[in-house]
Amino acid sequence: MTTPPQGNPFAQQPPAPGGQFNAYPAPPAPAPPRRNFKKIARNIVLPIAGIGIAVGAYLGGVGDDTLELAAGDCLQNTGSTSNPDIEKLECTDAKATHKVLKKVDGTSLSDLACQSTAGTVAAITWKEGSDSFVLCLGNAKK
């Protein structure tokens, strides 16, 4: 019987009587965990995106009536300049503060869109995705 060389811890032990090895083979290494990207997207990415959209709509959105306004309509802004809350009103209503002088589709640059519109005192910019428009506003009491 031969002995393995000294200093080689991985040397195979000689077979025991009957032709079997003395040591058990090492178990296979565990497989790395599989990442399920659909589950990650559903449980993490989509809720974060939904929260971001909701917060963005709350902080930077305009009132629902803004989408219905056209040139000649009157409105009242009960919000602020940076966070307007627009209510469409009849121009004869005493609460009406502004009148839409012009609606410019396809832009969000209110200064350029309204610079040639006489009587403009304010502007509302609406943008969602690639859709956008600017409402040039004048005083309702003219």
- Which of helix, strand or coil describes residue 46? helix
pTM over 0.75: no
SS3 call for 129: coil
How confident is the model over 32-76, as pLDDT tens digits? Answer: 777 777 776 666 766 676 676 666 655 555 446 788 888 999 998
Rounded mean pLDDT, 111-135:
85
Longest CA–CA separation in the chain, Å: 114
Amino acid at 59: L
Q: How far is CA 120 from the centre of its chain?
A: 33
Taking the C-alpha atoms of residue 44 and residue 53, their distance in angstroms, rounded to an integer, is 15
